[in-house]
Structure 1
Amino acid sequence: MTAGGANGGVGRDKPSSPMAWLRRRMDRPVRRVLPRSLLGRTLLIVLIPLVVTQGISLELFYGNYLQVVSRRMSGSVAADIVLTLDLMGRYHAAGDRAWIMRRVRERTQLDMIWNPGQRLDRTGSTHVLGPMDEDLAQALETSIGRPAFIDWIDDPHTVGIRIQMPDGVLDVGAPRKRLDVAPIWLFVVWTVGSTLLLFLVASVFMRNQVRAIRRLARAAELFGLGRDTGPIRPEGAQEVRKAAVAFNRMQDRIFRFVAQRTAVLAGVSHDLRTPLTRLRLSLAMIPHQGAIDAEMLRADVADMIGDIAEMERMIESYLSFARGEGAETPVAVDVGALLDETAAAFRRAGGTVLSISLPAPVEATLRPDAFRRVLDNVMQNARRHGGRVALSASRDGRGIVVCIDDDGPGIQTDRLETVFRPFESGQNGGTGLGLTISRDIVRAHGGDITLQPSRLGGLQVRIILPV
Structure 2
Amino acid sequence: MRGWRTFWSDGQLDRSVRRVLPNSFLGRSLLIVLIPILVTQGIALELFYGNYLHVMSRRMSESIVSEIGLSLDLLERYHSHDDRAWLTRQVRTRTQLAMEWHQNARLTKFGSTHVLGPMDEDLVHALATSISYPFFADWLTDERHVFILIQLPDGVLKVDAPRKRLDVGQLWLFVIWALGGSLLLFAIAALFMRNQVRAVRRLAKAAEQFGLGRDIGAIRPEGAREVRKAAVAFNRMQERISRFVMQRTAVLAGVSHDLRTPLTRLRLSLAMFPQTGVIDAGLLRDDVTDMVGDVSEMERMIEGYLSFARGEGAEQPQALDVATVLEDVAAAAVRSGGRVREVVCDPGLVLEARPDAMRRMLANLVENARRLNAAVWLTGYGEDRNIVIEVDDDGPGIPTERREEVFRAFSSGERGGTGLGLTIVRDIVRAHGGDVRLAASLKGGLNVRITLPR
TM-score class, shorter-chain normalisation, is 0.5 to 0.7
How far is the alpha carbon of 1:28 from its aligned partner?
A: 3.7
The correspondence for 1:172, drawn from 159, 170, 173, is: 159
The correspondence for 1:56, drawn from 36, 40, 43, is: 43
Partner of 2:106: 119
Partner of 1:243: 230
CA distance in 1, matches of 2:267, 2:20: 74
The reply to whether residue 254 of structure 1 matches residue 241 of structure 2 is yes
C-alpha offsets along residues 268-294 of structure 1, whole Å, 9 cap, x if unaligned? Answer: 44456788899999999xx9xxxxxxx
Partner of 2:3: 16
Name the amino acid aligned to 1:192: L
CA distance in 2, matches of 1:22, 1:59: 34
Name the amino acid aligned to 1:108: T
The correspondence for 1:27, drawn from 3, 8, 14, is: 14
Gaps of 5+ in 1: 1-13, 288-321, 323-467
CA distance in 2, matches of 1:21, 1:59: 38
Partner of 2:302: none
Name the amino acid aligned to 2:46: E
Name the amino acid aligned to 1:32: R
Partner of 1:299: none
How far is the alpha carbon of 1:154 from its aligned partner?
A: 1.4
How far is the alpha carbon of 1:35 from its aligned partner?
A: 2.0
Partner of 2:137: 150
Partner of 1:213: 200
C-alpha offsets along residues 421-452 of structure 1, whole Å, 9 cap, x if unaligned? Answer: xxxxxxxxxxxxxxxxxxxxxxxxxxxxxxxx
CA distance in 2, matches of 1:171, 1:283: 130
The reply to whether residue 89 of structure 1 matches residue 97 of structure 2 is no
User: Which segment drifts farther, 101-110 or 264-273?
Assistant: 264-273
CA distance in 1, matches of 2:89, 2:7: 74
CA distance in 1, matches of 2:251, 2:237: 21
How far is the alpha carbon of 1:15 from its aligned partner?
A: 3.5
CA distance in 1, matches of 2:61, 2:160: 13
- SS class of match (1:169): strand
CA distance in 1, matches of 2:6, 2:139: 51
CA distance in 2, matches of 1:259, 1:105: 98
What does 1:412-427 align with in structure 2 at a 5 Å threshold? none
- SS class of match (1:114): strand
Partner of 2:116: 129
Q: How many residues align?
A: 275
Partner of 1:377: none
Name the amino acid aligned to 1:131: P
- SS class of match (1:20): helix
CA contact (8 A) 2:116 2:171 kept: no
CA distance in 2, matches of 1:234, 1:32: 33
The correspondence for 1:139, drawn from 126, 136, 140, is: 126
Indicate how the Cα distance of structure 1 residues 184 and 141 shifts in structure 2: closer, same or farther if over 3 A, else same: same
CA distance in 1, matches of 2:8, 2:143: 57
C-alpha offsets along residues 371-428 of structure 1, whole Å, 9 cap, x if unaligned? Answer: xxxxxxxxxxxxxxxxxxxxxxxxxxxxxxxxxxxxxxxxxxxxxxxxxxxxxxxxxx
Indicate how the Cα distance of structure 1 residues 151 and 277 shifts in structure 2: closer, same or farther if over 3 A, else same: closer
User: TM-score, normalization: structure 2?
Assistant: 0.56
How far is the alpha carbon of 1:167 from its aligned partner?
A: 2.7
CA contact (8 A) 2:65 2:126 kept: yes
Indicate how the Cα distance of structure 1 residues 22 and 53 shifts in structure 2: closer, same or farther if over 3 A, else same: farther
Indicate how the Cα distance of structure 1 residues 174 and 18 shifts in structure 2: closer, same or farther if over 3 A, else same: farther
CA distance in 2, matches of 1:120, 1:95: 25
The correspondence for 1:228, drawn from 183, 195, 215, is: 215
CA distance in 2, matches of 1:228, 1:179: 73
Name the amino acid aligned to 1:211: R
Indicate how the Cα distance of structure 1 residues 280 and 153 shifts in structure 2: closer, same or farther if over 3 A, else same: closer
Partner of 2:170: 183
How far is the alpha carbon of 1:187 from its aligned partner?
A: 0.8
CA contact (8 A) 2:117 2:171 kept: no
User: TM-score, normalization: structure 1?
Assistant: 0.54
Gaps of 5+ in 2: 275-308, 310-454
Partner of 1:8: none
C-alpha offsets along residues 129-161 of structure 1, whole Å, 9 cap, x if unaligned? Answer: 342111001111111222111111112211110
Name the amino acid aligned to 1:109: Q
- SS class of match (1:16): helix
CA contact (8 A) 2:100 2:157 kept: yes
Partner of 1:421: none
How far is the alpha carbon of 1:97 from its aligned partner?
A: 1.4
CA distance in 2, matches of 1:164, 1:273: 119
How far is the alpha carbon of 1:205 from its aligned partner?
A: 1.2
CA distance in 2, matches of 1:45, 1:20: 26
The correspondence for 2:52, drawn from 28, 44, 65, is: 65
Indicate how the Cα distance of structure 1 residues 98 and 17 shifts in structure 2: closer, same or farther if over 3 A, else same: farther
How far is the alpha carbon of 1:199 from its aligned partner?
A: 1.4
How large is the RMSD of aligned CA atoms in angstroms? 2.8
Partner of 1:101: 88
Partner of 2:390: none
Name the amino acid aligned to 1:207: R
Indicate how the Cα distance of structure 1 residues 238 and 61 shifts in structure 2: closer, same or farther if over 3 A, else same: same
Name the amino acid aligned to 2:199: A
